Structure 1
Amino acid sequence: MCIFLMSGLFLFEVTKPQTSLMAVRLKHHRYITALLGSSAILSFLYFQNSAMVLMDSSHGLVSERAPCACGNCVTDQGNSRWFSDRYKPTVPLLLNSNNSVLHADVSRWWKELQDVPNVSNYTAVVDQLFSLFPDEDAGPDRGRTCAVVGNSGNLLGSHYGPLIDFHDFVIRINKGPTKHYEKDVGSKTTHRIMYPESAMDLDNSTHLVLFPFKILDMQWLFSAFTTKNITQTYTEVPSTIKANKDKVMILHPEFMRYVYDNWTECHGRYPSTGFLTLIFALHICDEVNVFGFGATSNGNWHHYFDETLTPFENDSHAGDFENKTISRLQQEKKILLYRGWT
Structure 2
Amino acid sequence: ASGGPMLTGGTSVERGGRTAGARAGGGGMRCSLRVWVLLGSLGLVFLTSLFFSISLRGGVGLPYLEPPGWEKSSRVKLVPNYSGVHQLGPLESTQQQKTCACPRCVGDPGVSDWFDENYNPDISPVWTRDNIQLPSDVYYWWVMLQPQFKPHTIQQVLLRLFQVIPGRSPYGSWDPARCLRCAVVGNSGNMRGAGYGPTIDSHNYIMRINLAPTLGYEEDAGSHTTHHFMYPESAKNLAANVSFVLVPFKTLDLLWITSALSTGQIRFTYAPVKQFLRVDKDKVQIFNPAFFKYIHDRWTRHHGRYPSTGMLVLFFALHVCDEVNVFGFGADGRGNWHHYWEQNRYSGEFRKTGVHDADYEALIIDSLVKAGKITIFPGK
**TM-score under structure 1 normalisation?**
0.78
1:340 matched to which residue of 2?
A: 379
- Cα gap change, 1:53/1:203 in structure 2, threshold over 3 Å: closer, same or farther? farther
Q: How does 1:109-258 map to 2 (within 5 A)?
A: 109-136=141-168, 139=171, 144-258=180-294
Over the residues paired in the alignment, what is the CA RMSD in angstroms?
1.9
Which secondary structure state, in structure 2, belongs to the residue aligned with residue 305 of structure 1? coil
Are 2:342 and 1:306 aligned?
A: yes
Aligned-pair distance for 1:53?
A: 3.7
Which secondary structure state, in structure 2, belongs to the residue aligned with residue 337 of structure 1? strand
Aligned-pair distance for 1:216?
A: 1.0
Which secondary structure state, in structure 2, belongs to the residue aligned with residue 302 of structure 1? coil
- Cα gap change, 1:214/1:237 in structure 2, threshold over 3 Å: closer, same or farther? same
Contact 1:118 1:215 in 2 (8 A): no
**Over 2 Å off, 4+ runs:** 51-55, 115-118, 135-143, 307-311
2:318 matched to which residue of 1?
A: 282
| Range moving further from structure 2, 76-85 or 89-98 | 89-98
Aligned-pair distance for 1:137?
A: 5.5
- Cα gap change, 1:300/1:116 in structure 2, threshold over 3 Å: closer, same or farther? farther
Are 2:327 and 1:327 aligned?
A: no
Mapped to 2, the partners of 1:54 and 1:228 lie a distance apart of 46
More strand by share: 1
Are 2:108 and 1:76 aligned?
A: yes
Are 2:333 and 1:297 aligned?
A: yes
Question: Which residue, 299, 308, 321 being the options, matches 1:263?
Answer: 299
Aligned-pair distance for 1:72?
A: 2.2
Q: Which has the higher contact order (CA 8 A, sep 6+)?
A: 1
Write the letter of the residue equivalent to 1:267: H
The answer for unaligned runs of 5 or more in structure 2 is 1-78, 84-97
Are 2:96 and 1:96 aligned?
A: no
**Percent of aligned positions with the same letter in both sequences?**
44
Aligned-pair distance for 1:267?
A: 1.2
Q: What is the CA deviation profile of residues 171-213 of structure 1, one whole-angstrom value per residue up to 9, with x for unaligned ones? A: 0111100000000000010000011011011100000011111
Aligned-pair distance for 1:327?
A: 0.9
Mapped to 2, the partners of 1:204 and 1:80 lie a distance apart of 39
Contact 1:93 1:139 in 2 (8 A): no
**TM-score under structure 2 normalisation?**
0.71
- Cα gap change, 1:141/1:237 in structure 2, threshold over 3 Å: closer, same or farther? farther
Mapped to 2, the partners of 1:134 and 1:313 lie a distance apart of 38
Structure number with larger C-alpha Rg: 2
Mapped to 2, the partners of 1:98 and 1:168 lie a distance apart of 26
- Cα gap change, 1:226/1:281 in structure 2, threshold over 3 Å: closer, same or farther? same
Aligned-pair distance for 1:118?
A: 3.3
Aligned-pair distance for 1:88?
A: 0.5
